[in-house]
Amino acid sequence: MKNMKKYLIILSSLFIASCASDEKFEDLNRDPNNPTAVSSEALFTSATKNLFDQMESTNVNSNIYRLLSQYWTETTYVDESNYDFNTRAIPQNHWSRIYRDVLFDLQDAKKLASNDKQKAMISVIEVYAWQQMVDTFGDIPYTDALKGAEEPTPAYTDDAAIYADLIIRINDAIAKLNGAGTGYTSADIIFGGNVAKWKKFANSVKLKLAMRMADANNTVAQTTAQEAVTAGVLTSNSDNVILNYLGSTPNTNPIWVDLVQSGRSDFLPANTIVDFMNAKSDPRRAYYFDNNLGANVYSGATYGAVSNFATYSHIGTAIHEPTFRGVLLDYSEVRFLLAEAAERGYAVGGTATAHYTAAIEANMTDWGVASADIATYLARTDVAYATATGTWREKIGFQFWLAMYNRGFEGWSVKRKYDAPAFNTAANSGLPLPTRYTYPLNEPTLNKSNYDAAKTAMGGDTQTTKIFWDKF
């Protein structure tokens, strides 16, 4: 797939005129490994896989979301668990991968798309990627982005304004998905061309946008969420937005590359999540973590401290498989969002209790937990919605965070949005949990005036500057 990108070498137009009329001679002079044109289908597939790969990766040079969410910690080299972003240029690498390998390709795919349904599928992935970038950095190049040489120093757009435009874009995508024609089929590595599932995906992205911004603009959030639910969001685990990775490189889950193929022992479950789950005898422990310490014995390493790999529980065996599925959005996430919506009085149907319970059940079922164990867990007084301690934010936030294990970005976002659960302080640095990535280190050099304006607008380019929706 990497060979099929917009950056591919374009053959010179200065061919000898006499050769241009001789198709057979031309064929002899074409390099099949460097095609002159890339199809919309290839670009769409490549961008989609690149998005999954980046969000799934646990390579500390590009993705430390599992560390920020305190699901995992490091064993020996603990800089990232202590919130050092810049030694490995993590913001720069993530920024480049999303802009270059996802958004650029999607833009080009859309230019070559043959119909509106294809454009709609592209738009859904675009909106997902743009939201991810806003939720990571805040203000980012948006309106002026992706213009190449036409705009080499793009201005930054206000993060709240981007959200407003993303709602417009997802509404347009939903309308096109409801129109005539067919979208991608074999090029669609998520749903294989199932437009009905793409509609649910699009509406669920819309719901996610709405609920993320609810503390910042409740009125717009309510209207947007209600529209999404009415149109139809994910309704079961069979609707989950997943990529089924393959058993051989380069199409394995990137986690396998870092946990297995590398031959290294760099990561352990953090005591933050292990201690919480132990306190509630959470049956997901047998799936999230390995039983290397003995049956039903789970111990998490101190977050941010150097740790002996053999001393603590290891990451679950399923996660070590090269075919372990990647997830962009799932049914449990949707039900947790609906639980919050119900608490806010939005007309989304059902009660907060029902959505909260269904969310936990969906997540446990997806991991393979037995029905009896699920029922036992849900019956606990410290789990049941009516009797668990805390505000609705704390109850929903805690269980939401537990359910997003192995989806580090969402776990970090849940913590920032709901301010629950209580996290450990990074052992070595003593720094608070970052609320955003700082901007890439090359931005002050290569795009200084726009960087300076964004820094001022954001209230500083620091790890504790907040995204517009992070109000508490």
Q: Are 176 and 289 in a shared domain? A: no
**Same domain flag for 274 and 209:** no
- Residues 194 and 165 grouped into a single domain: yes
Which amino acid is present at 331? Y
Residue 50 exposure: Cα atoms within 13 Å on the Cβ side? 26
User: What pLDDT, on a 0 to 100 scale, did the predictor assign at position 4?
Assistant: 38
Specify the pLDDT at position 217: 98
Q: How many CB atoms lie within 10 A of CB 94?
A: 25
At residue 18, the pLDDT reads 32
Q: Which two tokens stand for residue 228?
A: 């999404």
pLDDT at 33: 52
Give pLDDT, residue 292: 98
Do 259 and 212 fall into the same domain? Answer: no
* 287 shares a domain with 175: no
Contact assessment for residue 299 and residue 309, using Cβ atoms and an 8 Å cutoff: no
Residue 173 maps to a domain: yes
Identify whether 104 is part of a domain. yes
**pTM for this model (two decimals):** 0.93
Q: Is residue 315 part of a domain?
A: yes
* Per-residue pLDDT, 181: 83
State the residue range of the domain holding 291. 254-320
CB 245 within 8 A of CB 48: no
Task: Quote the pLDDT of residue 180.
Answer: 85
One domain for residues 209 and 301: no
Residue with tokens 């599932």: 197
In this structure, are 224 and 282 located in the same domain? no
* 177 and 258 fall within a common domain: no
Q: What is the pLDDT of residue 24?
A: 37
As a whole number of Å, the end-to-end CA separation of the chain is: 42
DSSP character for 238? G
| Of 254, 340, 331, 303, residue with least CA distance to 428 | 303
* pLDDT score, position 36: 55
Q: Is residue 17 part of a domain?
A: no
pLDDT of amino acid 37 = 80
The residue behind tokens 């070590």 is 320
As a whole number of angstroms, the distance between CA 160 and CA 134 comes to 9
Cβ pair 356, 339 in contact under 8 A: yes
Which phi-psi region, left, alpha or beta, contains residue 384 (left: φ > 0; alpha: ψ -120 to 50)? beta
Of 320, 340, 372, the residue that ends a domain is 320
Instruction: Give the end of a domain, one of 233, 267, 301.
Output: 233
Residues in the chain where the model's pLDDT stays below 70: 1-36
Whole-angstrom distance, CA of residue 77 vs CA of residue 20: 58
Asked if 101 contacts 7 with a C-beta cutoff of 8 angstroms, the reply is no
Query: What is the tally of structural domains in the chain?
Result: 2
For residue 89, what are the contacts with CB-CB under 8 A and spacing of at least 6?
61, 440, 441
The answer to the question of residue 45 being in a domain is no
Asked, for residue 98, whether it belongs to a domain, the answer is yes
Q: Is residue 227 part of a domain?
A: yes
Among 302, 298, 301, CA closest to 288: 298
**Measured in whole angstroms, how far is the alpha carbon of residue 258 from the centre of its chain?**
18
Amino acid in position 100: R
Whether residue 253 contacts residue 324, with contact meaning beta carbons closer than 8 Å, is answered with yes
- Can you tell me which residue has the tokens 């080009």? 108
Rounded CA gap, 122 and 75, in Å? 39
Residue 32 has a pLDDT of 53
